[in-house]
Amino acid sequence: MRSSYYFTNGEPRKEALSLMGQRFLGSGGVVMQSSLIGKIEKAKRYAQETERVTFSELSAKFRGENDNYIISYKDGEWHCSCHFFTSRGLCSHTMALERILSNMLPKEALTTQFDATP
């Protein structure tokens, strides 16, 4: 894998640009501050460390098989606009989000067991 210090055409970036003016050309010839590069690298690392994030509330649109639904988690409770959730207090949409976000939700948000067999 090629280092991010090279342009896509394989030419090395000019070190003098970053040292003298704290700027260098990023992808597409965009001038970027060198301090931004550090933030981008940190963001990439953080994105791999999902345990750093814990949702306290969220809202999302969920495209189901039959309709689109609004799902939310707030004040320790899930909500979904589907009919099943209204009668049962949980649904496939909230369970799917629990599964997707499992390591980023507080323990009280994890209301279902995923080991169920048909």
Q: Could you read off the pLDDT of 2-28 as tens digits, one per residue?
A: 445 545 554 545 543 444 444 555 555
Q: What are phi and psi of 94, to 5 degrees?
A: -70, -40
pLDDT at 17: 43
Q: What is the pTM (predicted TM-score) of this model?
A: 0.58
| pLDDT tens profile 62-96 | 999 989 999 999 988 899 999 999 999 999 999 99
Whether 26 maps to a domain, the answer reads: yes
pLDDT band with cut points at 50, 70 and 90 for residue 55: confident
Whether 91 and 73 map to the same domain: the answer is yes
Whether 92 maps to a domain, the answer reads: yes
Whether 34 and 74 map to the same domain: the answer is no
Domain of 30 in residue numbering reads as 15-48
* End-to-end C-alpha distance for the chain, whole angstroms: 44
Q: Which of helix, strand or coil describes residue 13?
A: coil
Whether 66 and 97 map to the same domain: the answer is yes
Listed residue (111, 81, 86) closest to 96, CA to CA: 111
